[in-house]
């Protein structure tokens, strides 16, 4: 099996700052988190931004500050969210792509999201992909439900996307596909040839989905975006969630990637400044 790529999603858009003292809601805190999660074994950081008061923002300026802070503290692959928060417009969600992060998410279809709807109509997905293609940003395909894989194939037929790609299977969102090993296997079977994949299990499903992915040869996403708790009643820190994945992987005989090893596995350029082939 390939070494394990750990993605950390440390912020998200749904967790409130009064729910946990561990949410890195400012660029400075994101920089500190980047350093800590890389030391713990993460290779990719999935970025959402907040204002100082904890409210959501997708302002280009705030993302620029966050990007600079993460870059100053780590070599992590920086993956921007284009999902943002429920209700953001296409222009807001796609605007941050002008900063040319190495990766950004593309959610491949609409999905019920608790009592809300996370809207990803074909016009929205096309709009995001056009900006990704314009700015040379690699998508990570976010799959919340079975039909989302078919939607991604349709976007490929429209020549807005090529395969293989890296895919994140987000399981256990209230309204999306449930986090079961059977569902995970079905989705993985359905992915286009050559795709790499990780799984994000929501809430208490984070740990079992992590273990399944490690055993199956997939990759793993953890972080406070998906799960607030380390164990029952005990709030998690992002770096300790990452460290736990690395420990379990090690017990199972899988090493974790460095960020540059992850870049090679995903076919992303390795920065020449580190003496690696581009």
Residues that bind ligand KMH (CB under 6 A): 12-14, 81-83, 85-86, 105, 107, 113, 118, 142
CA neighbor of 7 nearest in space, from 80, 63, 72, 64: 80
Rounded CA-CA distance 133/139 in Å is: 9
If contact means CB under 5 to 8 A according to the sort of partner, which of Zn ion, ligand KMH, none does residue 140 touch? none
Cβ 154 to Zn ion shortest distance, Å: 23
**Nearest residue relative to Zn ion (C-beta):** 81
Rounded CA-CA distance 260/274 in Å is: 9
Interface with Zn ion by CB under 5 A: which residues? Answer: 81
- Please give the distance of CA 42 from its chain centroid, rounded to a whole number: 12
Cβ 134 to ligand KMH shortest distance, Å: 18
**Nearest residue relative to ligand KMH (C-beta):** 83
CA neighbor of 38 nearest in space, from 6, 3, 15, 82: 6
Cβ 107 to ligand KMH shortest distance, Å: 5
Q: What token pair was written down for 97?
A: 């792509």
Cβ 159 to Zn ion shortest distance, Å: 26
Q: Return the number of the residue (224 or 254) whose C-beta is nearest Zn ion.
A: 224
If contact means CB under 5 to 8 A according to the sort of partner, which of Zn ion, ligand KMH, none does residue 145 touch? none
Q: Is-contact 137 101, C-beta < 8 A? A: yes
Q: Is-contact 100 132, C-beta < 8 A? A: no
Q: Return the number of the residue (132 or 254) whose C-beta is nearest Zn ion.
A: 132
């Amino acid at each position: 099996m390939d070494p394990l790529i750990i993605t950390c999603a440390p912020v998200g858009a749904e967790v409130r700052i009064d729910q946990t003292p561990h949410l890195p809601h400012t660029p400075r805190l994101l920089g500190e988190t980047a350093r800590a999660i890389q030391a713990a074994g993460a290779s990719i950081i999935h970025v959402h931004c907040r204002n100082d008061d904890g409210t959501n923002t997708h302002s280009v300026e705030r993302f620029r500050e966050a990007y600079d802070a993460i870059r100053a503290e780590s070599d992590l692959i920086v993956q921007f969210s284009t999902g943002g928060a429920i209700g953001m417009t296409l222009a807001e969600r796609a605007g941050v792509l002008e900063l040319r992060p190495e990766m950004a998410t593309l959610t491949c279809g609409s999905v019920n999201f608790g009592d809300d709807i996370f809207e990803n109509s074909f016009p929205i997905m096309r709009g995001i992909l056009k900006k990704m293609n314009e700015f040379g940003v690699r998508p990570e395909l976010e799959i919340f439900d079975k039909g989302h894989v078919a939607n991604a194939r349709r976007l490929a037929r429209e020549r807005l996307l090529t395969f293989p790609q890296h895919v994140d299977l987000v399981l256990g969102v209230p309204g999306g596909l449930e986090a079961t090993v059977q569902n995970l296997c079905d989705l993985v079977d359905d992915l286009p040839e050559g795709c790499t994949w990780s799984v994000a299990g929501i809430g208490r499903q984070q740990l079992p989905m992590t273990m399944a992915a490690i055993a199956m040869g997939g990759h793993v996403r953890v972080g406070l975006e998906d799960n607030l708790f380390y164990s029952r009643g005990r709030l998690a820190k992002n770096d300790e969630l990452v460290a736990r994945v690395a420990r379990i992987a090690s017990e199972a005989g899988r090493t974790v990637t460095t960020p540059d090893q992850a870049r090679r596995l995903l076919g992303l350029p390795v920065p020449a400044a580190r003496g690696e082939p581009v």
